Amino acid sequence: MRPFSRLFLCLALVAGCAAPSPDPDTLTLTILGLNDVHGEMVARDDRGGLVSVSAYVAALRELRASDGGAVLLIDAGDMWQGTLESNLDEGETVVDIYNALDVTAAAIGNHEFDFGPIGEASVPSGPYDAPRGALRQRAREMDFPLLAANLIDEATGDPVAWDNVQPSVMVEAAGVRIGIIGVMTERALQTTIAANTHGLRVAPIVATLVHEAGALRARGAEIVIVAAHAGGSCDDFSDPFDTSSCHMDAEIMRVATALPPGLVDHIVAGHRHKGIAHLVNGISINSAYSSTRAFSRTDLHLDVDGHELEGRTVYPPQPVPFKANDVYEGIPLQEDPAIVAIANEALALAMERRDTDLGVTLSAAFDLEPDVESALGNLFTEALLDSLEADIAIHNVFGGIRSGLPAGKLTFGAVYEMFPFDNAVTIHELTGAELGTILARKAALHRKPGFAGMRVAVSCEPHGMKLEMRLKDGTPIGDSDTVRVIANDFLSLGGDDILTPVIKSRGLEIEQGLPRTRDVLIQWFMNHPGTLHPSDFGTHDDPKWRVPDIIPDNCRY
């Protein structure tokens, strides 16, 4: 970056902040990034939906058309899984909207695998079910390439070569040759349903980018951009050069730091649902939370003649929701009517189911909190345990619950938003020793799952970790005892690394025909009409987990 490039840095603290005045000798490429949209099509609460995103895309394209530049709209993955209106057609409507938005390219995220085969089943149930049928069908419907450079087909050892899925793409915008590479977090296959990813592996990101970016540069790429479903987080966006508020050990920060200088120019990041708007090792990195709360933006300023990168304008995450008569870059914001029509049609189909009253009133909100003993997590696991013949219910309450439940009458839609996944219930018989191994490992890693039906106490003794487990009625669980444990097919196949110590190479045996987790929850609510109070599900006075704040490395089970 040239010495005067700091002059191009606009600390855009509000959505209407204008970039520096155009320079006739400078060409501007606006990189507009989306990440973790999760099927949000329409505006609600703090989410603008893709309909609102369309207004900003149009405004930025009008701006760049006026100065001879261009806009590239790039998505960093997790596009469609999450809302009822998107999940009902397995993301087809989201693809229709992305096509209408004229997306340049998108990366595959871990939740792109969630729908499994085309149709109702979320995992293959027979020899003719294609485990990635829904994802591959969505890729065929895209008018833009889906990128996955480090998703490897174990049968060939090469990146997957599905229809319209490729490692990278070369595009031209405003006369500039731009290479775009897609990668995913190296833990992607541990955070989706293993049955849908059998035969795949994820290669290291840095080595993949060095190879792919080098090949793009050799083909004449003047700018290289990465769409990365891998992330990090920063808290202060007042100075893109100041990374003191960033977690520099996060995956995308480590990747950027490790890349050879000058190889990659910009990264659109995601996966972590956090904000980034910073420069690391000469690479600008943007990430804009999730669910269309914001979009990311960086303007690359190039010399008109030689297309050398002279500077960049790095913007903080740009809020998506807007009001009537709002402007962006001096241009009135107007939603694209074609996209509004697509979204409203999908919403209308979902509304009847969404508004179904389950007969329960919540006296106050059950908030989504980063707390393994939260009222929401306890309600979730207690409802499962109360509905099925088992001793314990276990769940990944961090990540496996997507939103809180609002106060008032409880609807089908609220429960769906809380748990949009189509995971089926699983029940396993484990020995006390196996259960202890699972819980001790998670305690040592400080990544405790939520559960119902027992109490666990961990202490560090001179000989190692002491773990005590008792059922809800106080009965001790001995190593040779057998307990029935409720989980779901995601966890049972290795998801979130919870049941890993007792999982064989292909996962725990899963009984077919058990209901979806969400359906069990909905039926439980319908069977328990009346009013529920968050205070009735608090366990802080009598914690289910009793674990030291610090567990030394030598404290092992």
pLDDT tens-digit readout, 92-125: 999 999 999 999 999 999 999 999 999 888 888 7
Going through 203-270 in order, the beta strands assigned E by DSSP cover: 223-229, 266-269
End-to-end CA distance of the chain: 52
What is residue 1's predicted lDDT score, i.e. its pLDDT? Answer: 34
Q: What value does the mean pLDDT take over residues 424-434? A: 94
| Spacing of C-alpha 295 from chain mean position | 15
CA distance 254 to 108: 20
Q: Is residue 17 predicted with pLDDT exceeding 70?
A: no
Q: Specify the DSSP class assigned to residue 215.
A: H
Q: What value does the mean pLDDT take over residues 438-450? A: 91
CA-derived radius of gyration, the chain: 24
Q: Specify the DSSP class assigned to residue 141.
A: H
Q: Is residue 45 predicted with pLDDT exceeding 80?
A: yes
Q: Is residue 11 predicted with pLDDT exceeding 50?
A: no
**CA angle in degrees (0–180, nearest 5) for 481-483-489:** 145
Residues 6+ apart with CB under 8 A from 221: 170, 177, 178, 179, 213
Could you tell me which of 188, 183, 225 has the C-alpha nearest to residue 208?
Answer: 183
Range with the poorest average pLDDT among 12-16, 388-392, 514-518, 528-532? 12-16
Range with the poorest average pLDDT among 210-224, 489-503, 515-529? 489-503
Q: Supply the mean pLDDT for the chain.
A: 93
3-state SS assignment for residue 531: strand
CA distance 91 to 62: 29
Query: CB 194: neighbour CB atoms within 10 A?
Result: 22
What is residue 488's predicted lDDT score, i.e. its pLDDT? Answer: 94
CA distance 107 to 79: 9
Which amino acid, 16? G
Q: Is residue 514 predicted with pLDDT exceeding 90?
A: no
Kind and range of the H or E element at 435? helix 432-444
**CA angle in degrees (0–180, nearest 5) for 30-33-34:** 155
Which amino acid, 492? S
pTM of the model: 0.81
What percent of the chain has a predicted confidence (pLDDT) above 70?
A: 96
